[in-house]
Amino acid sequence: MERSPRSARVASLDLLRGLVMVLMALDHSRAFMGALGDPMDLGAASPALYLTRWVTHFCAPTFVALAGLSAGLYAQRVGVERASRFLISRGLWLIVLEITWVNFFWKFGFSSISLLVIWALGAAMVLLGLLARLHRHAPLILGLAVVLGHNLLAGVQPADLGSLAIPWGLGMAPHSFHIGPLAVGVSYPFLPWAGLMALGWAAAPWLVGADGVRTRRALALGAGLVAAFMVLRGLGLYGEPRPWGPQERGLLFTLLGTLDCTKYPPSLQYMLMTVGPALLLLPLLERLRGRAAQTLLVFGRVPLFFYLLHIPVLNLGTKLFRVLVHGWDGALEPSLLRVYAGWALALVVLYPLCVGWGKLKAARSWWWLRYL
């Protein structure tokens, strides 16, 4: 049976989300299991390690843009008011999960709080939910202003702002502070991510249409973003605080250096470099079939469930491997092979769990299932 344009569109978004989750698990397998040092160090990292890290740069911006796009499509079905309420409540819930579940299973404790991607996603959802109530063009205007303009303020650091250091650190620049004895580290200032999510929301009506129209628009927008990145990066123009240049290790590393854009917070060039190819991939994913498509759909339809489980799976798996191989006091030796083996094993463990959770969500209409 042929899929309708609507079902194909939803399936392609789920497929892309699934691919994002798989790549994200690779990055976190590297963080837990690799013991490999800085993967983006052009002076020391191997090309394989560098590319293992670089390919996962697509995860956060693609997922944030998809969240905005999906929210915009949801608003078309149920209305802006209902979509706004859901975005705000879902966003607040994500912030709670970041502070509790995610922080605990990253470190098996609460010695400090790290505000990472789930925090930024939640805060961006809250802001988008509020913006959507103001005016139908408010997300587009704010999204463009933030994504195109936030690099103008890249030199402003929280330490320069006195009493405004914490708000600026939460929104615009990585920052660490204390709440009493508790240390809080902000790795993902939320405002640039909120701008990207708002643009995803604004793009939703434009990307709706028959297969041919949707494909042409996705390809045109994706190609335009990639071309903009190549011009800005190649000529050293606006949108990236770290310039590229010749590397002592040769041409290959010089080329790799052109792809080393700032993620914390995401620069304009970083977003162009990642969201553009993701849009180019969407039409191709609509044609994907077979086992690969089924696997990505399983993960892409329950992304938060996958995210919340993959952290303890990887962390516990790493600790178990270390104890069995090196003993209680042993340390892991650097190994990229172990990263990929652990990643594959984690996906095998997570797959049946995600299948079961997806079936439960499809079979039940309990309201709380929408939050997981």
Q: What is the pLDDT of residues 1-14, one digit of tens each?
A: 234 333 444 688 89
* Stated pTM of the model: 0.93
Percent of the chain with pLDDT over 70: 96
135-139, 195-199, 262-266, 365-369: which range is least confident on average?
365-369
| pLDDT score of 23 more than 50 | yes
Query: Which of 161-175, 256-270, 355-369 comes out lowest in average pLDDT?
Result: 355-369
Local confidence band at 223 (pLDDT 50, 70, 90 cut-offs)? very high
The alpha carbons of the chain give a radius of gyration, in whole angstroms, of 21
With contact defined as beta carbons under 8 Å apart, do 194 and 88 qualify? no
User: Is the N-terminal amide bond of 139 cis, ω within 30° of 0?
Assistant: no
Answer for the pair 42, 177: CB distance below 8 angstroms, yes or no.
no
**What SS3 class is residue 185?**
strand
CB 150 within 8 A of CB 172: yes
CB 206 within 8 A of CB 195: no
CA separation for the pair 313, 348 (Å, rounded): 11
| Three-class SS state of 34 | coil
Rounded to an integer, the average pLDDT of 104-131 is 94
Q: 205 or 193, which is more confident?
A: 193
Residue 212 above 80 pLDDT? Answer: no
Host domain of residue 165: 5-371
Q: What is the mean pLDDT of the segment spanning 315-320?
A: 95
Element of type H or E holding 179: strand 175-179
370 vs 132, residue with greater confidence: 132
Helix-helix angle 190-207:138-149, to 10 degrees = 130
CA distance 243 to 250: 17
In Å, how far are 126, 171, 200, 226 from 275, measured between CA atoms? Answer: 22, 21, 10, 8
Residue tagged 């670089």 (tokens): 54
How much of the chain, in percent, has pLDDT values that exceed 90? 78
Q: What residues does 98 pair with on adjacent strands?
A: none
**Cβ atoms within 10 Å, residue 151:** 20
Residue 320 has pLDDT above 60, yes or no: yes
* pLDDT of 172 strictly over 70: yes
Q: How many domains does the chain have?
A: 1
The mean pLDDT value of the chain amounts to 92
Q: In the prediction, which pLDDT does 285 show?
A: 87
